[in-house]
Amino acid sequence: MFAPLSGCGENAPALVTIPFAGGSASAYRPLLPALTSRHHVVGLQLPGRGHLLRKPAFRSMAVLVEQAASAIGRQLTGPYVLYGHSMGGRIAYDMACALAQGGGSLPAAVIVSGCGVPDEALLVPHPAVSSHRLRAWFAALGFPSFSAELFRILEPAVRADLEMIATRAPTAPAALPVPLHVLSGTADPVVDFERQHRWRHFTSKSCEFHSFTGNHFFPYDHRIEFEALVERVLATETAALQPVR
């Protein structure tokens, strides 16, 4: 379920990436070129895209989260940080909650970007919207290298993911014992930027906020700063969890 994106040691602190709607495990490679060469990075590979293109996509986020939370404990042996953008942020947070409730190995931190607070709906189209409107909406989000052909390939996965988002039950504020790092775009149409401060109510640990200029896919416009921030969080949040040598 989790595909390795780097060749670094499996016992090293890991960054676990969760894709956005329509994305595959490799979606963040352009954002993290240096990090993948220096750290252990794995990505959640969802069916219906990438090398699992012919597999049926998930339609329930609760089912996905349950399976992913179970799988991560079997695959990782050291400390790790979860990162997800947009829908991926929702999945990352819900995974951490599931692990906390089930007594699993918790992440050292959760990083979310382009993702509103868990008890409010993401501002996305209905899964049954017309192809024309869905393509126009996706194009307006600032996705790099967007094209009609790319969207034709991604559309089935995007629709399945929108269904997961639409049917996900809102999560009430809870004292998740995991630090949060919230990255937001100042002109993101999917997230209410002025309400991002509410993320602090969803953790009993620290909650740091980072703002970037740009649209929904702002990390791709700030690749150097984004990668440096993620690498810093991975290093600092996992440092206290590594054995003393």
Give a yes or no: residue 244 inside a domain.
no
Tell me whether residue 245 is in a domain. Answer: no
pLDDT at 9 over 80: no
| pLDDT at residue 72 in the model | 93
Burial of 159-180, coded b for 16+ CB within 10 Å and e otherwise, reads bbbbbbbeebeebeebebebbb
**What's the pLDDT score for residue 174?**
81
According to DSSP, the residues that pair with 150 across neighbouring strands are none
| Residue 138, pLDDT score | 85
The mean pLDDT of 137-164, rounded to a whole number, is 86
Q: pLDDT band at residue 14, thresholds of 50, 70 and 90?
A: very high
Q: How much is the average pLDDT of 65-94?
A: 94
The closest of 149, 130, 156 to 21, measured between CA atoms, is: 156
Q: Is residue 243 in a domain?
A: no
- Residue count of the chain, please give it: 245
8 Å CB contact between 215 and 142? yes
Q: Is residue 160 part of a domain?
A: yes
Report field, pTM of the whole predicted structure over 0.85:
yes
Q: DSSP assignment, residue 141?
A: T
How many structural domains compose the chain? 1
CA distance 121 to 97: 18
The three-state secondary structure class of 47 is coil
pLDDT score of 233 more than 50: yes
pLDDT band at residue 245 using 50, 70 and 90 as cut-offs? very low
CATH number where 33 lies:
3.40.50.1820
Residue 242 has pLDDT above 70, yes or no: no
Q: Which residue range forms the structural domain that includes residue 33?
A: 2-237
Kindly report the CA angle at 22 between 91 and 13, in degrees rounded to 5?
45
Q: Per-residue pLDDT tens for 94-123?
A: 999 999 999 989 999 999 999 999 999 888
Is residue 48 very low, low, confident or very high in pLDDT (cuts 50, 70, 90)? confident
pLDDT, tens digit (0-9, with 9 covering 90-100), for 166-213? 999 888 878 899 999 999 999 999 999 999 999 999 999 999 999 999
The distance between the two most distant Cα atoms of the chain, rounded to a whole number of Å, is 58
Residue 244 has a pLDDT of 43
Q: What is the dihedral of CA 179, 121, 63, 29, to 10 degrees?
A: -60
More confident residue, 206 or 35: 206
- Determine, yes or no, domain membership for 74: yes
